[in-house]
Amino acid sequence: MQIKKRKICIFTNIFVILHPKMKQFLSKIWFSSSARNVGKLLSANVIAQAIGILIYPVLTRMYAPEEFALLNLFTSIVGVLVIVATAEYQYAIVLPEDTKKARSIVHVSLLILAAVTLLVLCSIPFAKPIAGLFNAPDLARYWWLIPLSVLGLSLWNILNYWYIRNKAFTRISGYQITQSVFSAAGKIGLGALGFLNSGLIIATVFAPLLSLLISSCLAWKKHLSHLLSTDWPQLKAVAREYANFPKFNLPRALVNTIGMVLPVWILTPRFGLEQMGYLSLAMMAAFVPLNIIARAFYQVLFQYVSELVQHRKAIQPVLLQFTAWMGGIMGICFVGIYFLLPQLVTILFGADWLETATIIRRLYPYLIFTPICGTICFLSDVFAKQKIAMWMEIAYVTMMFVTLLIGTRFLPFLSAISAYAWVGFGYHLIQLVWFLSLARQYDKKI
């Protein structure tokens, strides 16, 4: 028990800087089952992300920038199709008290997935014209893998929430880690065998499928065999009952996902795969660590702030202290890393990737508020302001689209990246001010 108490102290002392009562709160929830489940999932996610990051020094010495750009283009298309493939019904699986109704939501999701997968299969004969739109002819060679990738990732999205409903968190953690291990091993193995034109994409497609197969076999008897029973008359009823998910969640998710892939879709035809390969690596190296940090703080602050709101207590001091603390730490880190970027990129990824350092520097404005806004974005949910958040995101994506179009028409590559980053800076700044104003308005009412 003494060792566990020390772990609590190490973890919670970080947050005492933000607010004195956090230590007491975190100590209280640390041993709860929900906290352990969150910790299990978060740890698995961090491990999986870390594996993906740590292999990049090997991959960049095997594969050329064009291969990374082609992979990024491939996954960006798959990412958008995966959002559509279940119409976001998977989020409703955890809601009904009745297990039969939840099972019917799974079946509705599977039917939509089957229809979308069939439509994507029908696009295979048009692979060359589609690849031509992106000025990436090699994309046509791998288009047949897109339906397979959409099917595998979407099936996991459905099973993931079925596992959550059944508290099968070990299955979720196992999938995350094995998928990352298979992907890393496949990319390195295929690269070593000389499959340099296809190794990245093949490993990316088949690693989730293999992990899904293993997870399904392990969970079949306890969690999945019950899904074979179908109540066909109930499917239409649950689809109608939870229609808000495709009506509202789907558009918002699409806008969010399209916003993330816009640089890939718009800049690739103009600047080519080589330049986009450098950009792909730069965005991975810059955003993935920041998103891991934001996700970790998000888990804790969401619970803490929600608890304060439930007890009608002030939240603005906590959020202001967090913003100042995180901003100060990130500011110091950013300044130090800025001057070391060329050396770091050369050591980690090789001298051939030196341009990545220049691109990361151009992305700095976008990066400044990313960990802060990514952490406190839950405020729009806490105060039921999702509609405003959706319209803000639509306005942001629209502005980003216009900026990137102007960049491809009138600006060189690095200037287009700078314009993109400054639009992101403006959006995050407005977002941060709005989040803090929500907290201020709440505190005035209590």
How many CB atoms are closer than 10 A to CB 358?
16
Are 261 and 403 part of one and the same domain? Answer: yes
Q: What is the pLDDT confidence band of residue 357, given thresholds at 50, 70 and 90? A: very high
- 257 and 357 inside one domain: yes
Contact (Cβ atoms closer than 8 angstroms) between residue 335 and residue 312: no
Residue 224 lies in a domain: yes
Tokens standing for residue 82 = 């995966």
64 band by pLDDT with thresholds 50, 70 and 90 = very high
**pLDDT at position 293, please?**
81
Q: Do 229 and 257 have their domain in common?
A: no
Kindly state whether residues 120 and 158 are assigned to the same domain: yes
Look at 87-101, 146-160, 261-275, 351-365 and tell me which has the smallest mean pLDDT: 87-101
Integer distance in angstroms from the first to the last C-alpha of the chain?
Answer: 39
Least confident of 17-31, 130-144, 152-166, 374-388: 17-31
Domain boundary (191, 219, 242) is at: 242
Asked if residue 46 and residue 185 are part of one domain, the reply reads yes
Give me the mean pLDDT over the 142-162 stretch. 95
Do residues 121 and 232 share a domain? yes
Average pLDDT over residues 174-198: 91
Most confident of 101-105, 207-211, 376-380: 207-211
- The answer on 264 and 222 residing in a single domain is no
* Tens digits of residue pLDDT in 279-303: 999 999 999 888 878 877 876 787 7
φ/ψ of 384, rounded to 5, equals: 55, 45
Q: What is the mean pLDDT of the chain?
A: 87
**What does the buried/exposed string (b/e) look like for 390-413 if buried means 16 or more CB atoms within 10 Å of the residue's CB?**
bebbeebbeebbebbeebbeebeb
Residues 427, 440, single domain; the answer is: yes
Domain count, the chain: 2
Of 200, 216, 242, the one marking the end of a domain is 242
Question: What pLDDT, in 10s, does the model give residues 6-40?
Answer: 443 444 444 444 445 545 544 544 444 555 555 66
Looking at the structure, tell me whether residues 341 and 216 fall in a common domain: no
Mean pLDDT on 246-261: 87
Q: What is the pLDDT of residues 92-102, one digit of tens each?
A: 888 888 888 99
Same-domain check for residues 265 and 344: yes
Residue 18 lies in a domain: no
More reliable by pLDDT, 196 or 281: 281
Please state, for a pLDDT cut of 70, what percent of the chain lies above it: 90
Under DSSP, the state recorded for 95 is S
Question: Looking at the domain assignment, is residue 280 inside a domain?
Answer: yes
Within a 13 Å sphere around the CA of 296, how many CA atoms are in the beta-carbon half?
A: 17
Q: What is the pTM of this model?
A: 0.83
Q: How far is CA 240 from CA 95, 153, 157, 160, 170, in A?
A: 14, 25, 21, 22, 32
- Same structural domain, 435 and 389: yes
Residues 204, 261 within the same domain: no
Containing domain of residue 379, as a range? 243-446
What is residue 63's DSSP assignment? S
In a domain, residue 328? The reply is yes
Out of 242, 272, 301, a domain closes at 242
**Within a domain: residue 389?**
yes
Residue 31 lies in a domain: no
**pLDDT over threshold 70, residue 181:** yes
Domain assignment of residue 23, yes or no: no
Asked if residue 14 is part of any domain, the answer here is no
